Amino acid sequence: MTKINILSPLLADMIAAGEVVERPASVIKELAENSLDAGAKKVTIEFKSGGATYIRITDDGCGMSPEDAGIAFMRHATSKLHDEKGLEAIGTMGFRGEALAAISAVSRIELTTREKGAAEGVKVTVQAGDIVDMSPCGCPEGTTITVRDLFYNTPARLKFLKSDRSEAAACTAAALRCALGRPEVSVKCIKDGEDVFFTPGDGRADSAVYSLLGRDIASSMLPCTGSSDGIEVKGFVSSPALSRGNRSMQYFYCNGRFIKSQLLQSAVEQAYRNTLLTGRYPACTLFITLKTSAVDVNVHPAKTEVRFSDEKKVFDTVYQTVKAALEAETQPLELKISESTQRMVSTPRADFFRSMPAKEYRTEYTRPASAPAAVPTPRREPSYAAPRPTARPSMNEPLTRTGFSPDRTEFSIKNVEKTVESVEKIAALNHRVIGECLNTYILVEIGEELLLIDKHAAHERMIFDRLKAQGRQIMSQTLLTPVIIKPTSEDAELLERNEALLSDLGFEIEPYGADAYAIRALPDDMEVTDAKAAVEEICDKLRRGDIVSADSARDELLHTVACKAAIKAGHRHDIRELERIADAVVAGEVRYCPHGRPISVRLTKNELDKFFSRIV
C-alpha cells in the first residue's frame, strides 16, 4: 500500500486558504480588489459584526458570463494572466486565481452576476468549494458576492479570530485601504447597516483623503510630487506639526496596490529628520508608480509585499520628493474640497478647544522657507542676552511662489492662486509683539490672528539652523576662567575618545589634575553656566550609543548645544530679544524646534469670537 496520498482539491484549497484568507478582512480585500479589477466605478462593501457571519460586496463592474461564473471558484481560475510573459507585467490586483477558490472552500457563498450587455444574469450558490446551485436570475449589471459563515468548516481557524470589535476594525481598515488607493472609484462601507465611510469617486486624491482620514488630517497634508529614473511619486505627507504616535496613518501604494514596505517607510521618515520627536511618526498617502517589470508583486499570496529591482533608486526618489514637499511648506494647504464632498462626508464640527489635542495644533508661518531671509543673521553674535537693534523684516517683499507651481499639487490653478493670494495677504500685514506671558510664550498680533510663540523652542531652532549653517567647525568662545568638571570614569573615557568631535562642536576640554577636566572653550552661543549640563548631556547621548551615522550624531549633539544655548522658559526676557524671535517666526524662517515640537500656535479672531459665542 502506498503511503503517499494526493490531497483532494478541496483540502488543498482549505490549506491554501490559510495563506490568502487569514480573517474576514482578507475576504474584503480580495473581493473588493476583484471589483476594482472588473472596472467598477461603484463598490459597496457591507459586513455584519466582525465580518465572519456576513460580508457582501456589490459592484457595477464588467460582470461574468454564466460560463465564467461556473469556473471562477476553481483553483487557478483567472481571467487576468495567460502565460509566463504576463507575470512580468501585472496590471491588475489579482492574477493568481486563488481568492475565490480559497474563500469558497471555507464559507457559504452566493454570487449573482450579469455581464455587461447580457440579457440576464446568473446566481451561483457554493458551499465548501462545491457549486450546489446555479440558475438564471434577473439582476443589475455587475457582481454581488455574499460570503456567510466564514471558517464554519475549519474550527481551528475560527478559534483564532479576535473579538468582533477588532475583526470589524480590520475589515474597515481593509476597505479603507482599497478606497484610498482608488479615488476614481466611489466606495461605500457599511457596518451593521450603518455607513462607516463613503468616497465620492471624483478621481481627486485630496477628496479621498478628506473622506477617509478626516478633515483634521486632510488639512495638515502637504501635496508632494516627484520623479526620477522612471519612478514617479505622488501623494500627501503630513506637516511635521501633525505627527502621530504610531505608523497607522502611513499608506503606501505601488502601481495602485496597497503595500507594506519598510523601505518606503524609512525613506519617508528620513525626510523628517530634525523635525520630528523620536517616537513620533508622519502620516502619508504615497503612490509610487514604476515599470511593472521593475517590481515583483509575487512575493506573498496576500500580495502586500513587493520587491523593487532597484531599492536604492526607489528610496532616493521617495526621500527627495518628501523632503522637497516639507521644504516647500508654507502653511498647510487647506485642502479645497468641493462642498458636495464635504456635505456627503460627516466630519465632526471643528471645535477649536475641544476637538484638537494640544500637540496637534497647527503651527503657523507665512513665508516659504526658500524666501529671502528677512532678518539677516550675523555670523558672530555674543549671545541673545545683549541683542542688537532689531531689523524688522519688510513684509512687503514679494513672495516666491515655490511650492505652488501647478505641477506640484493636485489642486486646480484657481485654488492655488487663491492660496497664494491669502499667503500674500498675511505677509503684507504688519505684526505687533504684544509681550510675553507666563515667562514662556511670546504674544504676537498679526492681522486677525493671535500668535503664541514658545520662545525657547523658537530660539533653539534658530540657533540649531545657524550652527548647522556654520559647517563642520562651530565657532567657539575661549573662557577666561575654565569650568572645571569631574566626570565619572566612563564619561571621562568618552570625552577623551571623542575629543575631535567635541572640538568640532566648539568645546575644548582638557584633563585637569587627577580626575577632573577643564572646559576651556564653549560654542559661541552658550552661556558659561550651561557648560557643565551641556557636556553631561552630550556624554549621555554618546553613552547611549543610539546615534547611528556621523551626520545624525552631529545633529543630535547640535540639538544639545542649541537647547542649552537657547533662552529658557521661566525667565523674563528683554522685549527686543523677543521681537527678534517673533520676527523670525512670522517670516517663516523657523517652524519646528529641532525635536519637531511646534514653535507657534495660532488663534484666529474667528475662533476666539466663536469661543466667546460672539458668533455661532
| Residue 107 beta carbon to ligand ADP: minimum distance, rounded to whole angstroms | 13
User: Of 30 and 524, which has the nearer Cβ to Mg ion?
Assistant: 30
Q: What end-to-end distance do the CA atoms of the chain give, in Å?
A: 85
Cα–Cα dist 440/160, whole Å: 53
Cα–Cα dist 420/416, whole Å: 6
Contact 211, 199 (CB under 8 A): yes
Q: Which residue is nearest to Mg ion (CB)?
A: 94
**Distances in whole angstroms, Cα of residue 134 to Cα of each of 54, 108, 346, 486:** 21, 14, 41, 87
Crossing angle (nearest 10°) for helices 262-271 and 311-327: 30
Candidate ranges 77-85, 286-294, 312-320, 451-459; the one touching ligand ADP (CB under 6 A):
77-85
Contact 198, 345 (CB under 8 A): yes
**Distances in whole angstroms, Cα of residue 224 to Cα of each of 232, 288, 316, 403, 419:** 11, 12, 14, 9, 16
Q: Which partner in Mg ion, ligand ADP, none is near 143 (CB below 5 to 8 A by kind)?
A: ligand ADP
Candidate ranges 71-79, 231-239, 401-409, 605-613; the one touching ligand ADP (CB under 6 A):
71-79
| Residue 62 beta carbon to ligand ADP: minimum distance, rounded to whole angstroms | 5
| Residue 88 beta carbon to Mg ion: minimum distance, rounded to whole angstroms | 19
Contact 426, 446 (CB under 8 A): yes
Using CB under 6 A as the binding rule, the residues of this chain from 458 to 497 that contact ligand ADP are none
User: Of 96 and 564, which has the nearer Cβ to ligand ADP?
Assistant: 96
Cα–Cα dist 210/340, whole Å: 12
| Residue 130 beta carbon to ligand ADP: minimum distance, rounded to whole angstroms | 16
User: Of 90 and 458, which has the nearer Cβ to ligand ADP?
Assistant: 90
What percentage of the chain's residues is helix, strand, coil (to nearest 5)? 35, 20, 40
Contact 128, 143 (CB under 8 A): no
| Residue 240 beta carbon to ligand ADP: minimum distance, rounded to whole angstroms | 40
Task: Check binding of 35 to ligand ADP (CB under 6 A).
Answer: yes
Q: Show the beta-strand stretches assigned E in 141-230.
A: 142-148, 186-191, 194-198, 221-228
User: Of 62 and 175, which has the nearer Cβ to ligand ADP?
Assistant: 62
Binding-site member from 51, 61, 226, 393 for ligand ADP (CB under 6 A): 61
What are the cell numbers at 314? 526607489
Task: Check binding of 59 to ligand ADP (CB under 6 A).
Answer: yes
Q: Which partner in Mg ion, ligand ADP, none is near 61 (CB below 5 to 8 A by kind)?
A: ligand ADP
Candidate ranges 72-80, 429-437, 539-547, 588-596; the one touching ligand ADP (CB under 6 A):
72-80
Contact 401, 416 (CB under 8 A): no
Q: Which partner in ligand ADP, Mg ion, none is near 151 (CB below 5 to 8 A by kind)?
A: none
Q: Of 226, 295, 299, whose CA–CA distance to 256 is shortest?
A: 295
Burial of 536 (0-12, 13-18, 19+ CB in 10 A): middle
Q: What is the 3-state secondary structure (H, E, C) of 60-74?
A: CCCCCCHHHHHHCCC
User: Of 34 and 127, which has the nearer Cβ to Mg ion?
Assistant: 34
Task: Check binding of 143 to ligand ADP (CB under 6 A).
Answer: yes
Q: Which residue is nearest to ligand ADP (CB)?
A: 94
Task: Check binding of 62 to ligand ADP (CB under 6 A).
Answer: yes
**Distances in whole angstroms, Cα of residue 330 to Cα of each of 55, 431, 587:** 45, 18, 10
Task: Check binding of 387 to ligand ADP (CB under 6 A).
Answer: no
Q: Which partner in Mg ion, ligand ADP, none is near 97 (CB below 5 to 8 A by kind)?
A: ligand ADP
Q: Which partner in ligand ADP, Mg ion, none is near 77 (CB below 5 to 8 A by kind)?
A: ligand ADP
User: Of 16 and 593, which has the nearer Cβ to ligand ADP?
Assistant: 16
User: Of 39 and 447, which has the nearer Cβ to ligand ADP?
Assistant: 39
Which residues bind to Mg ion, rule: CB under 5 A? 34, 94, 99
User: Of 59 and 460, which has the nearer Cβ to ligand ADP?
Assistant: 59
Task: Check binding of 77 to ligand ADP (CB under 6 A).
Answer: yes
**Distances in whole angstroms, Cα of residue 393 to Cα of each of 164, 460, 601:** 59, 20, 20
Cα–Cα dist 358/241, whole Å: 11
Q: Which partner in ligand ADP, Mg ion, none is near 18 (CB below 5 to 8 A by kind)?
A: none
Q: Which residues of 29-46 are buried (b: 16+ CB within 10 A; e: fewer)?
A: bbbbbbbbbbebeebbbb
| Residue 108 beta carbon to ligand ADP: minimum distance, rounded to whole angstroms | 17
Q: Which partner in Mg ion, ligand ADP, none is near 59 (CB below 5 to 8 A by kind)?
A: ligand ADP
- Amino acid identity for residue 422 in this structure: S
Binding-site member from 16, 27, 72, 451 for ligand ADP (CB under 6 A): 72
User: Of 144 and 363, which has the nearer Cβ to ligand ADP?
Assistant: 144
Q: Which partner in Mg ion, ligand ADP, none is near 326 (CB below 5 to 8 A by kind)?
A: none
Tell me the per-residue interface mask from 323 to 352 with ligand ADP, x by CB under 6 A, - otherwise.
------------------------------
User: How many residues does this entry show for the chain?
Assistant: 616
| Residue 39 beta carbon to ligand ADP: minimum distance, rounded to whole angstroms | 8
Q: Which partner in Mg ion, ligand ADP, none is near 72 (CB below 5 to 8 A by kind)?
A: ligand ADP
| Residue 34 beta carbon to Mg ion: minimum distance, rounded to whole angstroms | 4
Cα–Cα dist 187/208, whole Å: 10
Task: Check binding of 38 to ligand ADP (CB under 6 A).
Answer: yes
Binding-site member from 100, 233, 526, 599 for ligand ADP (CB under 6 A): 100
Helices (H), 308-382: 311-327, 339-344, 352-355
**Residue 480: which region, alpha, beta or left (left: phi > 0; alpha: psi -120 to 50)?**
alpha
| Residue 33 beta carbon to Mg ion: minimum distance, rounded to whole angstroms | 5
| Residue 263 beta carbon to ligand ADP: minimum distance, rounded to whole angstroms | 25
Neighbours of 299 (CB within 10 A): 13
User: Of 17 and 585, which has the nearer Cβ to ligand ADP?
Assistant: 17
Q: Of 165, 190, 212, 194, whose CA–CA distance to 55 is shortest?
A: 190
Cα–Cα dist 601/579, whole Å: 16
| Residue 105 beta carbon to ligand ADP: minimum distance, rounded to whole angstroms | 11
Candidate ranges 95-103, 281-289, 510-518, 526-534; the one touching ligand ADP (CB under 6 A):
95-103
Q: Which residues bind ligand ADP (CB under 6 A)?
A: 30, 34-35, 37-38, 59, 61-64, 72, 77-80, 94-101, 143
